[in-house]
Amino acid sequence: MRKELMTRTVFVLNGPNLNMLGKREPGIYGGKTLADIEADCKAAGLNLGIEVDFRQTNHEGVLVDWLHEASDRADAVCINPGAYGHTSIALHDAIRAIGTPVIELHLSNIHAREEFRHKTWTAPAVKGVICGFGAHSYILALQAAKQLIQ
């Protein structure tokens, strides 16, 4: 199992429309692309002594599959479920099904936006939620993941 190895791995999973960062509503989500955020996460991972496995999909079932995979291959998961956080009981159930600690993150402060974004179905299943710090939310989530797996 991964936990016995010296190098710790954190999956950073990204849900729908995050591939559009840099183009999609930069006033809300910032001007960084997902590739920029991935580079920031990989650099932060080096500083934290963790390996970052960064992924994005627009498909809910793929996120579920990656969460299942994390059970055997990752020490922690940071997930930006995008809109699926507000709609997906399947993601909630997948998070609860694995023993790997999961941190939910969002670029924007979901509590300061439209009312339908205030609640996520995934939040009750995760160790914690980070939101509202733009691209830095990812770095904060990685720092939290490092604390959880030490």
Give me the domains of the chain, ranges plus CATH numbers.
15-149 (3.40.50.9100)
Give backbone dihedrals phi and psi of 14, rounded to 5 degrees, phi first: -125, 135
User: Is 138 among the residues known to form the active site?
Assistant: no
**Residues 112, 103: Cα–Cα separation, whole Å:** 20
Give backbone dihedrals phi and psi of 128, rounded to 5 degrees, phi first: -170, 165
Cα-based torsion angle of the residue sequence 20, 83, 145, 37 in order, rounded to the nearest 10 degrees: 10
pLDDT (tens place) for every residue of the chain, 150 residues total: 444 446 899 999 999 999 988 887 667 666 799 999 999 999 999 999 999 999 999 999 999 999 999 999 999 999 999 989 888 999 999 999 999 999 999 998 887 666 766 678 899 999 999 999 999 999 999 999 999 998
- Of residues 68, 84, 92, 106, which has the active-site annotation? 106
**Residues 83, 81: Cα–Cα separation, whole Å:** 6
**pLDDT at 1 (0 to 100):** 46
Q: Which residues have a Cβ under 8 Å from the Cβ of 34 and sit 6 or more positions away? A: 14, 18, 19, 21, 22, 56
- Tell me 104's DSSP state: E
- Of residues 29, 84, 92, 138, which has the active-site annotation? 29
**pLDDT at 149 (0 to 100):** 95
User: Is 29 among the residues known to form the active site?
Assistant: yes
The model's pTM: 0.91
**Residues 19, 34: Cα–Cα separation, whole Å:** 6
Which one-letter amino acid corresponds to residue 15? G
